[in-house]
Amino acid sequence: MDVTRIIAIRHGETAWNVDTRIQGQLDIPLNDTGRWQAERLARALAAREAIDVVYTSDLLRAWETARPVAAATGAPLHTDEGLRERGFGSFQGKTFTEIEAAMPDEARRWRQRDPFWAPPGGESLTAMRRRVIETLHALASRHVGEQIASLAVDLAAIHRDPFDRMIIATTLIHDANLISLDGVFHHYPELQDRLLA
């Protein structure tokens, strides 16, 4: 079977990352550190990987991270809204502290990481997971046997608990049969042994 390899990449740093401000689907640019990170990433990938195509969320921070990767590798660059981060509704634009002060009940539910709960006007973890997995399936099907760099939601951050990350990785691996989660296994090597043993 021809395998599509997807290198999952998180966008570079923004000022809102530093401030612990929820970005969600708001269009926030990279800061100087984030632009530096994107250039370093591009050089590293160009030196080590043959990238056939780059897909990115349509949000500016992802685009600004993806553009140098595409330029350095010579790969075409495409956007796909299905790769956007989680929609955080009324949480967007607020810091963790502001959310806890203004919406203590919602903040508590968020911290419990209930996969079916959504912030007011936002997206649940299960809805985001379904959207991202559907998008990755479609991209893998379009590029069978190729290597894709994907600038998107941090796949490993969909759930913080290692068991939940393992479930997500298993779902992607076994449902798609096309996707290699190098990014997840790079950041969480303990999952590779548990899933692929």
List residues with catalytic annotation: 11, 85
How far apart CA 5 and CA 50 sit, in angstroms, is 11
**Residues 117, 110: contact at Cβ < 8 Å?**
yes
Helix, strand, coil percentages (3-state) for the chain, rounded to 5, are 55, 10, 35
Helix (H) or strand (E) holding 138: helix 125-142
Angstrom distance (rounded) from CA 90 to CA 25:
11
